[in-house]
Amino acid sequence: MHNKQVNAAQSGLNRRDFLGAAGGLVVFVAGVGLPMAACAAVTVGSTKPALAADELDSWVAILPDGRVEAYYGKVDLGQSLEVAIGQIVAEELDVPYAKVQVVMGNTASSMNQGGASSALGIQAGAKPLRNAAAEARRILLDLAAHKLDVPVSRLGVNDGVVSVAGDASKTVTYAELIGGKFFNSKVEWNQKIGNPLDIKVQAKVKSPKDYKVVGQSIARNDVAWKVFGTQGNIADVRVPGMLHARVIRTPVAGSLAVKVDLNSISHIPGARVVHEKNFLAVVADKEWDAVKAARDLKVTWSASTRPLPEFAKLHDHIRQAPTVKLDESESRGDVAGALKTAARTLEAQYLWPFQSHASMGPASAVAHVKPDGVTLWTGTQKPHYARDGVANLLKVPADSVHAIWVLGPGSYGRNDAGDAAMDAAMLSKLTGRPVRVQGMRHDGTAWDPKAPASVHRARAAIDANGKITGYDFTSRAFSRATIESNESDPRDSLVGMEMGLPPKGGVTFGTPEESYGFANKRLAWEVIPDLIASASPMRTSHMRDPVGLQIQFASEQFIDELAYATGTDPVAFRIEHAKEPRDQAVLQAAADKAGWQPRGNAPRDRTGAMLKGRGIAYARRAGTIVAVVAEIEVDRKTGRIWGRKFTVAHDCGLIVNPQGLRYTIEGALVQALSRILFEEVQFAPDKVISVDWNTYPILSLKDAPEVVDVVLINRPEAPSTGAGEATCRVVPAAVANAFYDATGVRLRQAPMTPERVLAVLA
């Protein structure tokens, strides 16, 4: 069990123990140092108000010993977010960071702040906690002023001790003021849940110029237990009396179980089949028995309708399929006219495959459905939505479901964790026992919701002077989320669809994010139909930086092509056309740190066995700006690309924890490098071929970069924006542009495998 979550779940009880029989203490603050209108009646109480966004106690608590608990409705996936949130709370409360415990992802103690979502952990998720901490400090100072009988203006706080200027004899600690009791104070909630949830408070938050804790590189709390194995993750949740389950899903895409031979597992004592409509599973007391039963169960599947295209013709399929929806996010000037009257035009297409989250371990979950309520232990990164989804699936009230997030075996968007939670809930309902579901490797790869495949078409008009007079970029693709990125609706789950719910089928994609100021410019997308309408192994959902890699692989390669077509250095071209000063600064910082030498069209000797090249790419992502210089080696004989060195310049506004940010950027970069060099979901017309690490290869240690240089541009005047995903989207094009620099040839299809490299170099 994950101790932190258990503690969180029990913390209400602990508090009551501390409080004993003490009744509510009402303190009327006499408005010392305040105009009378601002006099506040602060009711410090011994009962915690029910969890609600407009209750200060739902965000922050002072424990009897002065430690602070902060209740966070998102989760940290091992990237220092928990530390950053703790720093922000410590900063506003004027307590040391070490005194703050961030309690995450438990629906009994945290509001729904959307879970991990779009790298908004600080950008959106810190807002209510910062405000709540500031408000708590304001109220604590009011209480202290009353107790010490001095105006608030004479008070200061250091390490949770309130002292009086000029009178060292008068101090009081937060613990003495309220420890173990509750603020009973309302805050103004903006009536939203999920990412936009925020609160307004009377207190003013600190100015960044006064920050002492924010900005420090404080180490993570979750490293040691992982390295020593002293706590577990979601795979290690064990509940007394639980059954082990394996869900059995067809190896033939789109087919259904026609006949299940129950006798085929009669040799495994204790194993039995659960079969309800098209949902099929085996359960057993011993895990190995469940694994064996899943392996040995004889199932006759309906004939294949061969619903998938031929693998080699995936992108032809995308080009030829009907358009479900077209969206023009940006259209200015007359692009068609510019293309018609141009001295010359440039056009290229770029191809991206389906990719899988393929998390390190297949998902697991434990659910216990009892008459009086449901407990769910889940590794999903959006536990509040998983609670809602389970409630909707089982048709019980949401407040009767308690979801407890426990760190999963890797989470980069909606992976297989959401289905594991729903499967466990259904199986617990059907068996009347607590049930632990875990996937086998093929469940985590073949049945993982995919990142969509796409074709990107870019066109530009160039006048006689080499000026770009028109720019058109259109993505044509499968929807980025045929199932929603959260699990709140069972119609988006495999078990829901297998039990007969009609799929919802979301339709959306995206466009490049940059600040290029071309005069006539159009950015658009077109989405084509899903391959299989229901319970599809090719259903799509968000995967780290959803569609950012696809789009920027194309758009930032095309920008490079335009630079060379107009005889301009790729860095200079971008700095010339990017209109935002922060974008220009990021580009310049990356180029400076990498020691960028201008590239051009001068002939080069490319006859060597090992070709070396450099490329740059840049993008924005929801306010964050990032540029990457890739330095790669291409082995002409084997076709292997090694991304040897990367230089990243990164501007995400105010930096909360520089070291945590560096590690986050490094991980994002290496994962994106894996996606551009290796990753591609393979399939045949009747089935998914990529089912394990041999059929879905990812980057190995051998392919890891030798150097990742990170330049952090801190902008204390700008609000913090996301850092978990922005770097991902520029790595593919940086590598592709370096490949062109090395070889003089463009490779416009991902992944850039040795086979494709050899084919374009032949």
In the set 169, 230, 263, 465, which binds another protein (CB under 8 A)? Answer: 230
- 702 CB neighbour count, 10 Å cutoff: 7
In the set 428, 438, 482, 557, which binds another protein (CB under 8 A)? Answer: 438
Q: Is 464 helix (H, G, I), strand (E, B) or coil?
A: coil
CA distances from 710 to 237, 584, 665 (A): 37, 17, 8
The binding track of 18-57 with respect to another protein, each residue x by CB under 8 A or -, is ----------------------------------------
Interior CA angle at 139 toward 135 and 143, to 5°?
165
Nearest approach, Cβ of 195 to another protein (angstroms)? 22
Q: How many residues sit in the footprint of another protein (CB under 8 A)?
A: 62
The pair of three-digit structure tokens given for residue 635, joined into one six-digit string: 């082995």
Is 286 a residue that touches another protein (CB under 8 A)?
A: yes
Integer Cα distance of 207 and 639 in angstroms: 53
Phi, psi of 230 (to 5 degrees): -85, -15
The DSSP call for residue 106 is B
Nearer to another protein, 116 or 318 (CB): 116
The pair of three-digit structure tokens given for residue 514, joined into one six-digit string: 């940059």
- Of 181-189, 214-222, 298-306, 365-373, the segment contacting another protein by CB under 8 A is 214-222
Q: Which residues in 514-573 contact another protein (CB under 8 A)?
A: none
Integer Cα distance of 19 and 181 in angstroms: 7
Q: Are 735 and 609 in contact (CB under 8 A)?
A: no
Nearer to another protein, 365 or 461 (CB): 365
What number of CA atoms fall less than 13 Å from residue 415's CA on the CB side? 29
Integer Cα distance of 441 and 445 in angstroms: 6
- Of 53-61, 96-104, 476-484, 699-707, the segment contacting another protein by CB under 8 A is 699-707
Q: Are 260 and 275 in contact (CB under 8 A)?
A: yes
Q: Are 745 and 685 in contact (CB under 8 A)?
A: no
In the set 708, 733, 750, 752, which binds another protein (CB under 8 A)? Answer: 708
In the set 30, 165, 223, 258, which binds another protein (CB under 8 A)? Answer: 223
The binding track of 390-409 with respect to another protein, each residue x by CB under 8 A or -, is -----------------xxx
Q: Hey, CA dihedral for 598, 601, 605, 609, is it positive or negative?
A: positive
Is 464 a residue that touches another protein (CB under 8 A)?
A: no
Q: Are 388 and 330 in contact (CB under 8 A)?
A: no
Is 417 a residue that touches another protein (CB under 8 A)?
A: no
Nearest approach, Cβ of 708 to another protein (angstroms)? 5
**Residue 32: partners with Cβ closer than 8 Å, 6 or more residues away:** 145, 146, 150, 151, 152
Nearer to another protein, 209 or 702 (CB): 702
Is 229 a residue that touches another protein (CB under 8 A)?
A: yes
Nearer to another protein, 357 or 522 (CB): 357
In the set 235, 252, 468, 616, which binds another protein (CB under 8 A)? Answer: 235
Longest dimension (CA), the chain: 86
In the set 22, 98, 343, 360, which binds another protein (CB under 8 A)? Answer: 360
The binding track of 646-675 with respect to another protein, each residue x by CB under 8 A or -, is -------------x---x--xxxxxxxxx-
Is 440 a residue that touches another protein (CB under 8 A)?
A: yes
Counting every residue written for the chain, the total comes to 762
Is 227 a residue that touches another protein (CB under 8 A)?
A: yes
Q: Are 465 and 567 in contact (CB under 8 A)?
A: no
Nearer to another protein, 465 or 694 (CB): 694
Residues of the shown chain interacting with another protein in the complex, contacts defined by CB under 8 A: 77-79, 219-220, 222-224, 226-233, 235-236, 238, 244, 286-288, 291-292, 358-362, 407-412, 438, 440-441, 659, 663, 666-674, 692-694, 698-702, 704-706, 708
